[in-house]
Structure 1
């Protein structure tokens, strides 16, 4: 891992792969060092947020309580546990595969629409990170035959629950929004609910399966 400063109150850790990013996040949020190490309630005192990317982890701190240089040196020695929930059953999302771009994806990949659905539903996915909009999880694990580019012209509105692919990722739109991903289908499962704790159904490291319905 490579640790770089990101301003005067953050570190950017380059992990090289999503699995290590998830494990480092778990380690930073569950550090159990002795009190002299500056740990309160299992979390390093002064760490404000830990945000994983696909191959990076951004750690923001309060410099008055946590010296970034001290934390940078400590990160290399942290044991990396499995991320929370790694052993849990995957979140299963029933999907009606009637998306507006299903036929075009079939044409781009040289597969039939039925084969596109079969390959998409057969894969095991992991949430690499959240972004774009609240609850939008970038899912790794997409069959390489389904790696297709985004639409040349994004749609001004994509309905909530739309199941989509773009490049090496799959995703579900948590809310209606503009978007340029290729739409394969839709699910009625709410990905974002402000009355749920946490509001996002998906978290970094969550495993996901799609089930044709």
Structure 2
């Protein structure tokens, strides 16, 4: 089971502080509250705008309920190859700036990969469209909890444009209230910490 845990500072900082970050995570099982044990780690390759990184993913095992947990830093979605910041930037270019799909993905050039495929990008868009309504309802509720009289973006809750506008507003307001630097916690990072597992973006 994958558990997303807040990590502020991005992937470069994670390469330095990963061990300390993991040491500070509670050793209690999120299901039964029993004490868990370290259960090794594995390496994952993730991609940013310009580089590929290998990061350590740490695990714990609960002897009480026999579950194994992988702790995922918040800048990456479980099982995703690309950083949240990369996916948000590319999707934002297409949806908010009305850039074509080909142009939105064209500037990606890392090592042996010359371009992210249009198939992958369309899959991201299809996934977001499928959950847009539920995500928007959740974000609107959270926004109004943070500030009851906050003006909300206009549009249909099923629209990706409305989703990204609402996500940006929620991210900004959350960072202002919590004192977290907006540069250290990305928009999709925050959404995946806040949203139910089935609605991770």
TM-score of the superposition, structure 1-length normalised?
0.27
Q: Which is richer in helix?
A: 2
TM-score between the two structures when normalised by the length of structure 2: 0.28
